[in-house]
Amino acid sequence: MNLITNENKSHLHLKAAIHRDRAVAMTPKGKKMKKFLLGLGFLMLAGAVVGDARTAVAEDKLNLYSSRHYQTDEALYEDFTRATGIKINRIEGKGDALLERMKAEGQNSPADVFLTVDAGQLWRADQAGLFQAVESEVLEERIPENLRHPDGHWFGYSTRARVIVYNKEMVKPEEIATYEELADPKWKGKICIRSSSNIYNLSLLGSIIAAHGEKDAEEWAKGVVANFARDPQGGDTDQIRAVAAGECALAVANTYYTVRLLTSDKEADRAVAEKIGLIFPNQDGRGTHVNISGAGVLKNAPHPDAAIKFLEYLASNSAQRYFADGNNEYPVVETVEASSAVESLGEFEIDTVNVSVYGENQPTAQKVFDRAGWK
């Protein structure tokens, strides 16, 4: 409809111009003017056709930059395309690498949506001015307030808890109940945990800063460092394996790493899972620290309407299961249940602080870690 309307307008402008100058059309100057107006009219018509053609096809695709890469995501994207007709073009990589790529691309970036696996990385993208605010009744209704940016710059779609992992033969579960107790001298030489630069640990310390302030958070970090069984090394799975092997008694890890071991096809992995137990910390206080995988619409998104449709789709019941199951996480929509393997870990109360705090406190957290000697 817009194409026809704009085309008609272009013809009318052209026709009016021709009639208006008919009186001078027979002079040499008039002939030149007529040619000019004719050319101008056709340029206007061409511009209208091209502009409306772009509008007609603009929302038929979506360019997604994602640090997620799970098998279930294929079904997730296919369902979205089937439901909307919008094709998804993906570029996958590590979150920090994608962030630097978008910065380098600037206003010419083809990215519509940035999807990543930690509130801290979403904060980094937001600090770089990459996101735009999104207003959506669907997202505000279905995603809990503490799991989305206060101004709608990004939204969380799945959660995982950062829990205390213990060796069943070395620790009784009643011996430790909070993150704060990891700094107790009784655990000297018994704690394994990954590096301070790890985004998961930065977010955890960000939540501790929010709860206790910078000074107390630093004392806590120094206490944990004093209890290290070894210098930080490897990922969360490495910490869990070290606990199972008795190299350390306690570790801190995301819940989905344990679920991966529990459901692994490898007997050795399942054997590791049998030797460890999980503690959901701070159940008598602020609750267990949770983090998110989330996404936002980029400021220079070429296809903003398609991008918003995609964010709203991710909050649907079917998409929530795909999204959460892809990494053994918890759905954020309350009416959607987690997988049986995730549910088997047990129920727990979460820390309801807005997850945007993790990013806001990230620079302070890194300074605290550095001062504490946490490598």
Secondary structure, 3-state, 172-199: CHHHCCCCHHHHCHHHCCCEECCCCCCH
Which residues have C-beta within 8 Å of that of residue 150, sequence separation ≥ 6? 354, 356
- Give the number of other CB atoms < 10 A from CB of residue 145: 9
Q: Are β-strands 191-192 and 250-254 bridged in parallel, bridged antiparallel, or unpaired?
A: parallel
Q: Which of 289, 294, 314, 264 is closest to 67 using CA atoms?
A: 294
Q: How confident is the model at residue 58, as a pLDDT? A: 54
Q: Are β-strands 155-167 and 330-331 bridged in parallel, bridged antiparallel, or unpaired?
A: antiparallel
Q: Which residues of 296-335 are buried (b: 16+ CB within 10 A; e: fewer)?
A: bbbbbbbbbebbbbbbbbbbbeebbbbbbbbbbbbbbbee
CATH fourth-level superfamily of 160-289+360-372? Periplasmic binding protein-like II (3.40.190.10)
Q: How confident is the model at residue 54, as a pLDDT? A: 34
Q: How confident is the model at residue 27, as a pLDDT? A: 40
Rama region for 64: left / alpha / beta (φ>0; ψ in -120 to 50; rest): beta
Give, as one character, the DSSP assignment of residue 70: -
Q: Which of 298, 363, 292 is closest to 129 using CA atoms?
A: 298
Q: 95-105 and 119-127 helices cross at what angle (nearest 10)? A: 10
What is the rounded end-to-end Cα distance, in angstroms, of the chain?
A: 62
Q: How confident is the model at residue 9, as a pLDDT? A: 35
Q: Are β-strands 87-92 and 61-66 bridged in parallel, bridged antiparallel, or unpaired?
A: parallel
61-158+292-340 belongs to CATH 3.40.50.720:
no
pLDDT tens-place values along the chain, 375 residues long: 333 333 333 333 333 333 333 333 434 444 434 333 334 343 333 333 333 333 434 568 999 999 988 877 888 999 999 999 999 999 999 999 999 999 999 999 999 999 999 999 999 999 999 999 999 999 999 999 999 999 999 999 999 999 999 999 999 999 999 999 999 999 999 999 999 999 999 999 999 999 999 999 999 999 999 999 999 999 999 999 999 999 999 999 999 999 999 999 999 999 999 999 999 999 999 999 999 999 999 999 999 999 999 999 999 999 999 999 999 999 999 999 999 999 999 999 999 999 999 999 999 999 999 999 999
Q: How confident is the model at residue 181, as a pLDDT? A: 98
* CA distance linking residue 196 with residue 373, whole number of Å: 9
Q: How confident is the model at residue 72, as a pLDDT? A: 78
Q: Are 157 and 117 in contact, with CB atoms under 8 Å apart?
A: no
> What φ, ψ does residue 311 adopt, rounded to 5°?
-60, -40
